Structure 1
Amino acid sequence: MIVSPTRRRLLIGSAATAAAALLGGCDALVDNQHVARVLEGAEALNKDLQRALLSDTTLAREYTEADMSPVFKANGTQHPEGDAYASLLDNGFADWRLTVDGKVDRPLSLSLAELKQLPARTQITRHDCVEGWSAIGKWTGVQLGTVLKTAGLHTDARYAVFHCADKYENTADGQYYESIDLVDAFHPQTILAYTMNDQNLPVAHGAPLRLRVERQLGYKHAKYIMRIEIVDSLKAIGRGRGGFWEDRGYEWYAGI
């Protein structure tokens, strides 16, 4: 990929400014308005450049079973706390339901068995974590686009928001959530995965259902999904930046 001198200077400047802020701690980075503006500009360039170079259906690289990592690290929450999730786990998620609502014509409440009856896609892809590690795994699930087409979208629908069972902080906005726009929601490799490496999705990896959005960094791949809310804006959710970590300074698009 050729990076223009202007973009290169912006990214280098962003890194230098962010590094300086990090010397004062993460809070300094998040609270520094200049850093926030520069990073937001770099994020917009990242999204626009990726969308310009790749079509909406260009696939992330897929691998063979021989390439699969012997160990796939589980990151973030390993086991959601609380009686509600424990009860679902105890009965093998028989009582779990995926809610799909918001700006849809036909709100859905789907069991795991019903999701598994829909056409499935299997893909072997590389997971890239913002922490710097990667791993290759095999995922099977239903394409998110299939679910959204079943629900029917309003003309003003813009984003899919994933509300999850895990809570990161004991605060009003501490529940984990993520979001993607409809371009990525309808990408062929964006699936709601219920198996990993030919086994039911492990708890540590997001059972019973997690998002796989293969052209984004790992924190976009929401685990423990309970509800998908279709919205026209992200401003009224959490702190208004589109995800738990984004609300705390991470990039929203996170394209790779």
Structure 2
Amino acid sequence: MNDLSRRRALGTLGGGALLLGGCDRLAATQPLQHAFHGAEGLTYRVQRLLTPRDAMAPEFHGADLSPVFRSNGTAMPASADYAASLASDFRDYRLHVGGLVARPLAIPLDRLKALPQRAQITRHDCVEGWSAIGKWTGPALGPILRFAGLSQAARYVVFHCFDDFGGTAYYESIDLVDAFHPQTILAWALNDRPLPVANGAPVRVRIERQLGYKHAKYVRAIEAVASLDRIGRGKGGYWEDVGDYAWYAGI
């Protein structure tokens, strides 16, 4: 983690506890929006200060696996690019890594599977109120970013996805603390089988110390950036942009 220690994750974008549904109408007023965003930012900073960077999310045993790992959100991306890649069994898939890196990458799925792998059995906690335990397999994100030559100017990692909602491209983002966490992996397998389409094939990110909506499915590109201001509406993710959820969803 030496690279990470040299790159202080100073993120000032708001995060923290999710807004309760019953508070949405009140939160729509400008003064209360500022108050909520300030509280979210405080939660983010306090958690980063008090929680060790390498603190691990709980891991479970094979006997704990949920009989069904349900899907939510998009079950089948509508994009033509995704349809073509799916039709080829993802043989033409390339995971692009770019932005503030010295060596942009285009990693085929077979190459991704050949990298050192991490398998972890963890609980997925959905903001909608359900949980499931699954086994995820894939390479850790941190070494890939190191190999790409992450710039000292980078502060966030953005996941661009194949799916969209109402014509708006889906994306999510995390800071470098979570990007280099050992449990943050680019999962291509669920329960020792290739990811089903409904669960994010060919690749989804697993960020085990955050709630489920941060675990972007159908990842096509990873972009290292200094700021989130010019991506989407500038709040760090699709659901964050539309005002439903907070950017930081640490658990």
Is the TM-score greater than 0.5? yes
1:82 is matched with 79
1:4 is matched with none
Say which of 218, 242, 246 aligns to 1:251.
246
1:115 is matched with 112
Greater relative contact order (Cα < 8 A, sep 6+) = 2
1:185 is matched with 179
Q: Does the alignment pair 1:209 with 2:203?
A: yes
Taking structure 1 as the reference length, the TM-score comes to 0.87
Say which of 220, 226, 239 aligns to 2:220.
226
CA displacement at 1:50 relative to structure 2: 2.2
Q: Does the alignment pair 1:19 with 2:22?
A: yes
Cα pair 2:79 2:162 within 8 Å, conserved = no
Mapped to 2, the partners of 1:46 and 1:72 lie a distance apart of 30
Cα pair 1:43 1:254 within 8 Å, conserved = no
CA displacement at 1:132 relative to structure 2: 1.0
1:6 is matched with none
Query: What are the superposed Cα offsets for residues 181-226 of structure 1, whole Å, 9 maximum, x if unpaired?
Result: 1110000000000000000011000000000000111110000000
Cα pair 1:21 1:32 within 8 Å, conserved = no
SS of residue in 1 equivalent to 2:238: coil
Residue type at the aligned position of 2:199:
H
Q: Does the alignment pair 1:49 with 2:49?
A: no
Aligned residues: 233
Does the C-alpha gap of structure 1 residues 20 and 113 become closer, same or farther in structure 2, counting only changes over 3 Å? closer
Mapped to 2, the partners of 1:136 and 1:35 lie a distance apart of 36
Residue type at the aligned position of 1:212:
R
Residue type at the aligned position of 1:93:
F
Mapped to 1, the partners of 2:250 and 2:30 lie a distance apart of 23
Say which of 72, 93, 96 aligns to 1:96.
93
Cα pair 1:39 1:251 within 8 Å, conserved = no
Residue type at the aligned position of 1:251:
A
Does the C-alpha gap of structure 1 residues 20 and 165 become closer, same or farther in structure 2, counting only changes over 3 Å? closer
Cα pair 2:96 2:105 within 8 Å, conserved = yes
Mapped to 1, the partners of 2:131 and 2:23 lie a distance apart of 27
SS of residue in 1 equivalent to 2:205: strand
Unmatched runs of 5 consecutive residues or more in structure 1: 1-10, 23-27
Residue type at the aligned position of 2:236:
G
CA displacement at 1:105 relative to structure 2: 0.4
Cα pair 2:158 2:173 within 8 Å, conserved = yes
Mapped to 1, the partners of 2:171 and 2:24 lie a distance apart of 26
Mapped to 2, the partners of 1:232 and 1:94 lie a distance apart of 32
CA displacement at 1:155 relative to structure 2: 1.0
User: Greater shift after overlay, 217-226 or 79-88?
Assistant: 79-88
Residue type at the aligned position of 1:253:
Y
CA displacement at 1:176 relative to structure 2: 0.3
Q: Does the alignment pair 1:160 with 2:163?
A: no
Mapped to 2, the partners of 1:70 and 1:231 lie a distance apart of 39
Cα pair 1:46 1:255 within 8 Å, conserved = no
Unmatched runs of 5 consecutive residues or more in structure 2: 1-16
Does the C-alpha gap of structure 1 residues 21 and 227 become closer, same or farther in structure 2, counting only changes over 3 Å? closer
2:194 is matched with 200
CA displacement at 1:20 relative to structure 2: 4.7
